[in-house]
Amino acid sequence: MPKHVVFIHGLWIHSTAWKPWQDLFEEKGYVTSAPGWPGDLETVEATRANPEGLNNQGIAEICHHYADIIAGLDEKPIVVGHSFGGLIAQELLANDLVAAAVAIDPAPIKGVKVLPFAQLRSGLPVLGNPANKSRTVALNEKQFKYAFGNVLTDEESDALHAAWTIPGPGRPLFEDATANFIRNSPAAVNTHSAVRGPLLLTSGTEDHTVPRAVTLAVSKLYADNATSVTEYHEYEGKAHSLTLDAGWKDVADDVLEWLTAKDRMISTR
């Protein structure tokens, strides 16, 4: 079974937020890495101070960035992605660049037609201004609370905001929002016929940014792919902060258990 796990963060969160996951996975014998998006700097503070490198970074650029990193590894890794990182993980898997993928509350791929109000409201800090397509946008504490921390106390949500948030490029959100109207959308994933390793899709039942209905719709897009395994796990009472907040280990343990169960299948990739 591949032992390298690449963690891919989502919009507005710095890659160093994966450190507790990395420590846990390394205790279980995995080698891990959590490279940032193109334009991310080494720390939260540095990226906040100089976010210009993230300007105009889109889905295709982010995918190519991770594909290049993965090409330099000794083996096909497993990828674990959260939010937009979950969308990127699915694209890497569909192109057979990785052995398996876990997409935690993933941003919707092309073909998803449901648009819950909570998802629309979560994206408004970016989508509300067309000029944001080419620049970065930061969430304030109130916006983060609604989008990520809606099941948390104000104190925990504010602490996560202070510790891990960075400005995020607006372009991926605009590309995702218009995916169903663009013929060659960068948010398109071959869900129907890709021969690939196993995929785990997950959803927190209280997620505002990627509501459960969205991830269920993604799961249905894979239903006619008889050659590859797609599974769905649900986390009761968890929101979009589920990889960051005090309950993160519940999700991480579930992912580890799933990877162990799929050991033989992953090893053949």
User: 25-69: per-residue pLDDT in tens?
Assistant: 999 999 999 999 999 999 999 999 999 999 999 999 999 999 999
In order of start, what are the domains of the chain with their CATH numbers?
A: 4-267 (3.40.50.1820)
Residue 200 to residue 251: CA distance in whole angstroms: 12
Cβ(29)–Cβ(2) below 8 Å: no
Question: Residue 119's pLDDT is what?
Answer: 94
**Under 8 Å CB-to-CB from 168, ≥6 apart: which residues?**
11, 12, 54, 126, 136, 137, 138
Answer whether 212's CB lies under 8 Å from 106's CB.
no
Mean pLDDT over 213-242 rounds to 96
**pLDDT of 1 higher than 70:** no
Place of tokens 């769905």: 232
| Bridge partners for 232 per DSSP | 201
| pLDDT of 268 | 87
Average pLDDT over the chain, rounded to an integer? 96
Looking at residue 23, its pLDDT comes to 98
> Which whole number is the average pLDDT over 10-17?
98
pLDDT in tens, 75-131: 999 999 999 999 999 999 999 999 999 999 999 999 999 999 899 899 999 999 999
Kindly state the average pLDDT of the residues 198-226.
97
Angle between helices 19-27 and 248-261 (to 10 degrees): 40
Distance CA 266, CA 269 (A): 6
Q: Give the pLDDT confidence of 149-181 residue by residue, as tens digits.
A: 999 999 999 999 999 999 999 999 999 999 999
Mean pLDDT value across residues 15-27: 98
d(CA 210, CA 104): 10
Q: 87-122: b or e for each residue (b if 16 or more CB lie within 10 Å)?
A: bbbbbbbbeebbbbbbbbbbbbbbbbeeeeebbeeb
| 223 vs 91: CA distance, rounded Å | 17
